[in-house]
Amino acid sequence: MIEVDRVSKRFGHLTAVDDVSFFVEKGEVYGLLGENGAGKTTTMRMMATILRPTSGDIRIRGYSVLSEPVEVRRRIGILFGGDVGLYSRLTARENIAYFGKLYGLADDALEKRVEQLGEMLHMSEFMDRRVGGFSRGMRQKVAIARTLVHDPDVILLDEPTTGLDVTAANMFRRMVAHLQEEGKTILFSSHNMGEIERLCNRIAIMHKGRLSYAGTIDALRDQVKMNDLDDIFMTMVEGGGR
Ligand SMILES: Nc1ncnc2c1ncn2[C@@H]1O[C@H](COP(=O)(O)OP(=O)(O)OP(=O)(O)O)[C@@H](O)[C@H]1O
Ligand SMILES: [Mg+2]
């Protein structure tokens, strides 16, 4: 479903992503791990056609980010952590609907979809309030709904739980499980090994732009003969991987 094929991205002299390949199956929840600056966000931006690979290609459901970006965009929803860039003068409902319009959803279908997302994310109480006064978790819910408004097959979540409290993080995990049941393919990045382990079987670990591991968490445990994921992670990044 997501095929990363020898992708590199250079910014001037800096190689942010260096010859990275991995594959995410349909219906899989796949983890992307790495320290700050490892190249996770850059990789996800290339998947979403926001950045163009310097070399290599990424295919989403067979569509190339290089030659078929419009097809790719239609099938992808992306959520970035941190400041999510909502319109503070619009309500939650209006923010979500605005994005649906950008994706060309018809008014009645859009109305239904927004309502459905509001229920799924437990946002009913604040759907018609302006986003300006929202807490971080409330804003994050709006951003998640916006990511899902066009019902994408592939969902990219870049550090989605940063800044969420325990309740919101739990809600998020249930949502991921729900999306997986719907057959969605999910790639999400995190620094939090515990969270990755709860949701994913397979992971990719990036270090300084390079891929240091791609495969199951179990196989990784066997390979390094350690149990604690934080220890494993440190070993993988200190050893530089390959
Ligand atoms: N638009 C850009 N111009 C120049 N350099 C960039 C740009 N975007 C990213 N980089 C650089 O590419 C490298 C990888 O950054 P990236 O944001 O992909 O890392 P990350 O793994 O997402 O890190 P974090 O965990 O901190 O979010 C960093 O050295 C970063 O400074
Ligand atoms: Mg990042």
17-21, 39-43, 70-74, 83-87: least confident range = 83-87
Regarding the beta carbon of 9 and ligand 1, being less than 6 Å apart is answered no
34 lines ligand 1 (CB under 6 A): yes
Determine the pLDDT at residue 242. Answer: 47
Is the beta carbon of 14 within 6 A of some atom in ligand 1? yes
The per-residue pLDDT of the chain, averaged, comes to: 91
Pocket test for ligand 1, best of 32, 40, 50, 237 (most atoms within 8 A of CB): 40
**Is 212 in contact with 242 (CB distance < 8 Å)?**
yes
**C-alpha of residue 84 to centroid of ligand 2, in Å:** 13
Confidence (pLDDT) at 82: 66
| pLDDT, tens digit (0-9, with 9 covering 90-100), for 146-178 | 999 999 999 999 988 877 778 878 888 888 998
Segment 15-20 mean pLDDT: 98
DSSP state of 123: -
- Asked whether 11 lines ligand 1 (CB < 6 A), one says yes
Instruction: Convert the pLDDT of each residue in 88-131 to its tens digit.
Output: 999 999 999 999 998 889 999 999 999 999 998 889 999 999 99
Q: CA-to-CA distance for 28 and 202, rounded, in angstroms?
A: 8
Nearest atom of ligand 1 to the alpha carbon of 159: 27
CA–CA separation, 115 and 110 (whole Å)? 9
For residue 197, how far is its CA from the centre of ligand 1 (angstroms)? 24
The stretch 234-239 carries a mean pLDDT of 77
Task: Indicate if the pLDDT at residue 241 is higher than 60.
Answer: no
Q: Which amino acid is at 116?
A: Q
For the CA of 17, the closest atom of ligand 1 is 14
Name which residue sits closest to atom 26 of ligand 1, judged by CA. Answer: 36
CB of 190 within 8 A of CB of 159? yes
Report how far apart, in Å, the C-alpha atoms of 191 and of each of 16, 71, 196, 232, 236 are: 18, 30, 8, 13, 14
pLDDT in tens, 171-209: 888 889 989 999 999 999 988 788 888 899 899 999 999
Residue 206's DSSP bridge partners are: 34, 211
Q: Verify whether ligand 1 is closer than 6 Å to residue 137 (CB atom).
A: no
Which tens digit of pLDDT belongs to each residue from 29-80? 999 999 899 999 999 999 999 999 999 999 999 999 999 999 999 999 999 8
Q: Which CATH class is domain 2-238?
A: alpha beta
Higher pLDDT, 141 or 42: 42
Sheet containing 202-207, strands listed edge to edge, beginning at the edge strand earlier in sequence: 76-80, 154-158, 185-190, 29-34, 202-207, 210-216
Cα–Cα distance between 176 and 31 in angstroms, integer? 12
- On the question of pLDDT at 240 being above 70, the answer is no
Q: Work out whether strand 76-80 and strand 202-207 pair parallel, antiparallel, or are unpaired.
A: unpaired
Q: Whose CA is nearest to atom 25 of ligand 1?
A: 36
